[in-house]
Amino acid sequence: MFKHIIDQDVELRLLDNHHAEVIFQSIDSCREHLREWLPWVDGTKTVEDTKSFIEMTKKQFASNEGFQTGIWYQGEFAGIIGYHGINWANKSVSIGYWMDERYIGKGIMTKACKAFVDYAFYGYKLNRVEIRCAQGNDKSRAIPGRLGFHEEGIIRESEWLYDHYVDHVVYGMLDREWK
Ligand SMILES: CC(C)(COP(=O)(O)OP(=O)(O)OC[C@H]1O[C@@H](n2cnc3c(N)ncnc32)[C@H](O)[C@@H]1OP(=O)(O)O)[C@@H](O)C(=O)NCCC(=O)NCCS
């Protein structure tokens, strides 16, 4: 099983079928926290939905379109980070993430995100990494902010969240800037 150790506390593990139960329990335990900014929470009703998601991510990895990993903190599942497919023609990718409410405020996601940006540039040899955050999602926006991304602009009413649209702020990092 692929894993990447970030430090003594934080480890990234490629998603696999046997993670479905712990991931679903995490989602189920903090639905209100997650659904404020993520559109798929209400549609994730049973562990079967999480299994389908993991199957999708395995196909994504097998077809060289990027991958998704669980984030493990001191041996416990803490969240997910992944690439949203890879645009090979333009050598760009975007990153998405979420964290179980119990593990926020520790800097875990910033470390995981840095590892994903590193792999995009040094592993996949891409030219551009993008992170899109809803305008009001200050905790998410702080992550590309801490990593030195450029705030490039706003996409109006970019995403439907259950009963309203949110604007997205686009953050970008180029290979030459990162290095
Ligand atoms: C977005 C989300 C992952 C951010 O989580 P987070 O814990 O704030 O992010 P980090 O793990 O990088 O931690 C940063 C926090 O840890 C603190 N911290 C502690 N040690 C740190 C370290 N070594 N490095 C960086 N930050 C550290 C920071 O001060 C910050 O706390 P603050 O918000 O009180 O200032 C989380 O809020 C979440 O899952 N939200 C719901 C889903 C979501 O919005 N996903 C993104 C959609 S675009």
pLDDT one-digit tens code per residue, 87-130: 999 999 999 999 999 999 999 999 999 999 999 999 999 999 99
C-alpha distance across the termini of the chain, in Å: 29
Pocket of ligand 1 (CB under 6 A): 34, 37-38, 97-99, 104-110, 133, 137, 139-140, 143
Cβ-based neighbour number of residue 139 at 10 Å: 12
Ligand 1 centroid from CA 62, angstroms: 30
Q: What is the mean pLDDT of residues 131-156?
A: 98
**Candidate of 30, 106, 114, 146 to mutate for ligand 1, largest count of ligand atoms within 8 Å of Cβ:** 106
Q: Alpha helices, DSSP H only, in the chain?
A: 20-29, 31-35, 47-62, 108-118, 138-146, 175-178
Strands 92-99 and 150-161: unpaired
At the second CATH level, the architecture of 3-178 is 3-Layer(aba) Sandwich (3.40)
Domain ranges of the chain: 3-178
Which atom of ligand 1 is least distant from the CA of 104?
7
Note the pLDDT tens digit of each residue in 26-57.
999 999 999 999 999 999 999 999 999 999 99
